[in-house]
Amino acid sequence: MSEIQPIDRGVAAEPDHGVKHLAIIMDGNHRWAKARHMPRAAGHRAGAKNVAAVAEACADAGITTLTLFAFSTENWERPSREVNLLMDLMRNMLKNDVDELNDRGVKLSVIGDRSRFASDLQMDMNRAEALTRENDALRLNIAANFGGRWDIVQAAKKVALEVATGRLDEATLARMDEADFAKYLSLGTLDEPDLCIRTGGDQRISNFLLWDFAYTEFYFTDTYWPDFNQDTLAEALSTFSERQRRFGRRG
């Protein structure tokens, strides 16, 4: 990340593409490596290195929130050697890159079920969040051990626990609407993603932000994640700007 310059939002004009919250499903690391006759691990390392550059490109484009799908609840089923590598890459980012993220004004949050991660990795997550808590140049959410179904279930459990302990009375529960319930989800009060980009050629959401994607626009590209860059991002944002978002209303 040392090659990435500090974010300078300056007095740039309001972006005309309309994307404030961008979600990305980072896919294609294996195929990127295979196409280059390299081991799978090389693809993951290349993908990890690309996160900082893409975050910088998003900030330059006027995006204020970036949510990246880094590790799903289903990814534990991958070979243990691959899982261990992914954990090491996460440790490396949290230990070695967080100070620079902080200097660039990035607020880092890890969303997902942390209970399955090693204790040292959980401590690194807590430290990174505490260090960057007051930053506001870019909100970077890393979804790790995250699943859309898990997110809805854990939110429902939170509501049930508040009812059981008396912190939420029956009258308030009866008045609860979708906006109230959404506060219990991992993204909390953040605006829902305007656009989700999936790299690597597949066209599915793979149990990502199921609730939050209710009216999110999607952009699928054959570009593998390690090759995703400012130009690919600009193409996706341009396509989004040409769409008419009706949110279920007649056009």
Catalytic pick from 8, 16, 27, 88?
27
pLDDT of residue 5: 42
Please, is 105 exposed, middle or buried when counting C-beta atoms within 10 Å of its C-beta (0-12, 13-18, 19+)? middle
Percent over 90 (pLDDT), the chain = 84
3 is a domain residue:
no
Rounded CA-CA distance 26/39 in Å is 18
Please, is 203 exposed, middle or buried when counting C-beta atoms within 10 Å of its C-beta (0-12, 13-18, 19+)? exposed
pLDDT of residue 2: 39
- Specify whether 180 is catalytic: no
185 is a domain residue:
no
pLDDT of residue 7: 43
Q: Which residues contact 11 (CB under 8 A, 6 or more apart)?
A: none
- Specify whether 124 is catalytic: no
Rounded CA-CA distance 66/22 in Å is 5
68 is a domain residue:
yes
Total number of domains constituting the chain: 1
pLDDT per residue as tens digits for the range 51-106 = 988 998 999 999 999 999 999 999 999 999 999 999 999 999 998 888 888 988 99
5 is a domain residue:
no
Phi/psi-derived region of residue 205, left when phi > 0, alpha when psi is between -120 and 50, beta in every other case? alpha
11 is a domain residue:
no
What is the reported pTM?
0.90
Q: Which residues contact 157 (CB under 8 A, 6 or more apart)?
A: none
CA dihedral 247, 148, 49, 77 (to 10 degrees): -150
Rounded to the nearest 10 degrees, the angle between the axes of helix 230-241 and helix 40-60 is 60
pLDDT band at 33 (very low <50, low <70, confident <90, very high): very high
pLDDT of residue 250: 61
Domain of 223: which CATH number? 3.40.1180.10
Rounded CA-CA distance 20/62 in Å is 7
- Give phi and psi for 31, each to the nearest 5: -70, -30
Catalytic pick from 60, 75, 102, 113?
75
- Please give the sequence-ordered ranges of beta strands (E in DSSP) within 62-130, or none if there are none: 65-72, 106-111
164 is a domain residue:
no
4 is a domain residue:
no
139 is a domain residue:
yes
pLDDT band at 20 (very low <50, low <70, confident <90, very high): very high
Rounded CA-CA distance 96/74 in Å is 27
- Give phi and psi for 224, each to the nearest 5: -70, 150
Range of the structural domain that residue 233 is part of: 21-147+192-238
